[in-house]
A and B are shown apart, each in its own frame.
Chain A
Amino acid sequence: MSSILKLLKLGIKRGRVTLRYPAEKTPTPEGLRGRPVLDFDACIGCGACAKTCPPNALTVEEKENVWTLRLFYGRCIMCGLCEEVCPVDAYRFSEEFELASATRRDLEVELRLLRVKCKGCGKYFTTKRALDNTVAEYSELADGYAEEFKDMIYLCPDCRRMDWSEALADAYREARYES
C-alpha cells in the first residue's frame, strides 16, 4: 500500500513533463547536431565530402562543364564527417532537426559549379573555383618556384604527368650531354 502512496506522490510532485508541442518545444542544448548547412559561396568543388559521406547522402556528378553536388537530407546521418574534411569550412551544423516533409524535393540541395578545361588536352578536369583557390594558395606557398611551375596548375593530372616526364627526360638528356 505504501508503494501506491509513493507512486501517487510522484505523480503529483513531479508535475507535468510533457509539452504542448509544437506550441511548446523541447529545450535543446547548444551543440545539437541538426542538419549540416552548406555555404554555397564557399564551396570549391573538391568533392572530399562526397567521398567521405558514409551513407552517400552527398553525391557528385561530373558532366561536361558542370560539376553538381547533391545533398539529400533523407540519407544524412548528421555525423559531421563532411564538416571535418571540408578544406574551406563550407559546412556548418545548424540545430534544425525538424526536417519532416511531404515532398522529397524539400530535402534535396543541389549546387552546380562550372568546370574548366585543361590547357593541355582540353578535357574538363576541375571546377573554376578549385582552380582559383589553388592559384591563390599556390602563390603564397610556392616561394621561388612560382614562375616555373605555375603553368602546371592549369593542366589536368594526365597532362601534368606527361609534362613532368618530359621535363625529367630533358633534364636527364642535358645531364648526359654535359658529362
Chain B
Amino acid sequence: MRPDRGEWKTDKNVVEELKERFPDSILKVSELRDKLLLVELKRGDLPEVLDYAHNSLGGQFLTMAGTDYVESLNRFIVDYVLGWYEQGTVLVVRASVPRGDENFPASTPRMPVADWYEREVKETLGLNPVGHPNPRKLLTSDDWPEDLFPMRKSFKNETPPPIKADARFPFVAPENAGSFNVVPYGPYHFAIHEPIYFRFHVDGERITGVDLRAGFNYRGLEKIAETRMSYETLPFVAERICGICGSVHGEAYSQALERAAGFEAPERAKWIRTMMLEIERIHSHLLWLGVATHMVGFDSGLMQFWRVRERIMFLAELLTGNRKQYGMIVPGGVRRDIREDKKERALGEVAEILVEYQELLDAALGLSTLRSRLKGVGYLSKEDAKRYSVMGPVARASGVDIDARRDYPYEAYPHFEFETPVQTGGDVLARTVVRAYDTLESIKMVKQALETLPDGPVHTPIDYIPPDVTSVGLVEGPRGTDVHYLITGGEDTVYRWRVRAPTYANLPATPLMLIGETLADASVVIGSVDPCISCTERMIVVDNGTGKERIISGWGPQEGLA
C-alpha cells in the first residue's frame, strides 16, 4: 500500500546519514523506542543539521518543544521532532540551553516552517531564538508582560497576570501591500467559528497582504496538564482541545503514553479506537463540506451535508453516549465496550449512511455553479506544500502523499483495507475532492471495523509508567497529522506535554494561497485549509511566515439564515 515515492535515495537510515555528514556535531544517539530515535547536539549546530534533515533528506517537520529542567538539571532543552513518512521513522533532535544563557540559534531563516514554534518557545519559556526574522508575540495576550514565562516550572498556575489596559499588538503592514485599504476580518466576524483577527490589505477586491493576530483561544492547557491533571484525567482535557477532532487528541496522547510505557492495548480496544477515529473523520469532513458550500452561498449544501452528518452523530451517540467528546479513548484501552445489539444497529446505520452520502455527493459536487466557485482558487504548489510541511487533505490535494494511518501504522489500521486519495490540482476543488473521498473510505472502514471486531477485554491498566521518557504519538486526524510529544513525569502526571495540531502546520502556508485572490474567495480559501483554531490555539497560534501576512479567519456556519 505504500507507493514508491522516490524520495529516499539511500538504504541507510536517517541517523546514519546525519552521522556521516556531521560527525563532530552529534553528541549522542539513542533509540527511545522502535523507530523513535533521539539525537543530541550542541545548540550551535541546530540550524545546519535541521536544514540538512528537513530540506535535503526530505523530513517532515512535526513539532518543536522546549522544556524547563532548571530545578533538576540547571538547564532547558529544546526538541525538534521530524518525521519520515516513507520509512515510518521519527527523529527527535535535542539541544540543551543552559540557565543564565537562555538563547539558541534560530532555524527559521533556513527552514521557514519552524517560525511559529520558535516564537512560541521564546514567549512561553523565555528561550530566545537568535536570528529569528519575526519574533513577535504569538500566544499570550497583548498586555502580558514580556518577561513572564508561563511554561516555566517556576511560574505557578494560579498567578494572576498584571493588567495593562492600553496594550496594543504591533501590526505590521507587509512591504508590498502598499497603502491600500485595510479590511479587518475578526476577531468578531459573522463567518468566523472562533475568534481570530486577520487584517487584509486590499486593492479593490484583490488581497495584497495579510497580518494575523491570534491567541484569543489560548487556554494554557499544557500548563494545566503538568500541574493539575494526572495520567488518568489528562485524556479528558486532551479531548476537549477541540470540539471537532477531540478523539484524535485523546488517541495521540494515549499512544504517546503507551509507547513510553512499552504497553500495547488489547485487540478489541484497538478496533474500537480505530472505529471512533474514523467516525470522527466522517463527521468532521461532512461538517467541512457543509460549511464550504455555505461559504460559497450554496446553503442547501450545508443543510444536506449536515443532514447526513446527523446520522453519524447519532451513531456516535449510540456507541459512546455522547455526540462529541466521546470520553472513550484513554491510556490502556477504551472505556466502553460495544454490545452485540448495538453493533448490529450500528451496522444498519452505517449501510444507510453510505447510501445517503453517495447520493448527496453525486448531486452536490456535480453542481456547476459550485464547481466554478471552487476551481482554480487558492492554489498551493507541491514544492510549497513540502517546504511548509503541510499536512492532511491540504497536502494530499497538492500531490504530497502522506498519511499517518498508512505510514506510521497504529491501532487496527494495518488490518484494514483503505485507499488514500491524492489529487494534484492544488486548489480548493482538489481539497474538496480529497475530503469527499476520504469520507467515503472512512465509512467503509467503520463498516470493516464493526464486522471484524475481535473478542477480548477493552481495557487493561498500565502497570508502570517509567519517568523521564520522551515519547511521541502520531495520529492522522481529519485535518492532518496530529503530533503529541510528551515527557513522562514522576508523580503520576506528565512532565511536559506538547500538542501540535495539524492546523498549526497548515495555517502558515495559507498566505501563499491567499495573496492575489479576491475578497470574495478569501473565506473559501481559508476554509479549504479547514482550520481548527481551537486545536491550534491550545497554545496560541500566530502565524507569520516571513513577514508576509496571513489572512483569514475561520469561518463557520451562520445562524439566522434569513
Chain A residues engaging chain B, CB cutoff 8 angstroms: 2-4, 6-7, 9-11, 14, 17, 28-29, 31-33, 52, 54-55, 77-81, 93
Contacts and interface: CB of A to CB of B under 8 A. Distances in A.
B310 A17 contact: yes
Contacts of B236: 54-55, 77, 79, 81
A3 B237 contact: no
Contact of B368 (A3, A7, A78, A81): A3
19 contacts: A2-B366, A3-B363, A3-B366, A3-B368, A4-B367, A6-B362, A7-B363, A10-B304, A10-B363, A14-B307, A17-B307, A17-B310, A29-B317, A31-B321, A32-B317, A32-B322, A54-B229, A77-B325, A79-B327
Nearest to A31: B321
A11 B300 contact: yes
Interface string B346-363: 000000000010011011
Contacts of B229: 54
Contacts of B307: 14, 17
B367 A3 contact: yes
A93 B321 CA distance: 10
Contacts of A7: 300, 304, 363-364, 367
Nearest to B341: A30
A54 B364 CA distance: 43
B314 interface: yes
Contacts of A81: 232-233, 236
Interface residues of B, number: 30
Contacts of A2: 366
Interface string B29-57: 00000000000000000000000000000
Interface string B181-212: 00000000000000000000000000000000
Interface in B279-307: 300, 304, 307
Contacts of B233: 52, 54, 81
Nearest to B300: A7
Contacts of B363: 3, 6-7, 9-10
Contacts of B356: 14
Contacts of A14: 307, 356
Contacts of A80: 327, 335
Contacts of B322: 32-33, 78
A10 B310 contact: no
Given A9-B363, A77-B325, 18 more contacts: A2-B366, A3-B366, A4-B367, A10-B363, A11-B300, A14-B307, A17-B307, A29-B317, A31-B321, A31-B342, A32-B317, A33-B322, A52-B232, A52-B233, A54-B229, A77-B327, A79-B236, A80-B327
B240 interface: yes
Contacts of A32: 317, 321-322
B317 A28 contact: yes
B275 to A, nearest CB: 16
B366 A6 contact: yes
A9 to B, nearest CB: 8
Contacts of B320: 33
Contacts of B469: none
B111 interface: no
A29 B236 CA distance: 23
Contacts of A54: 229, 233, 236-237
Interface string B304-336: 100100100010011011100101000000011
A52 B317 CA distance: 24
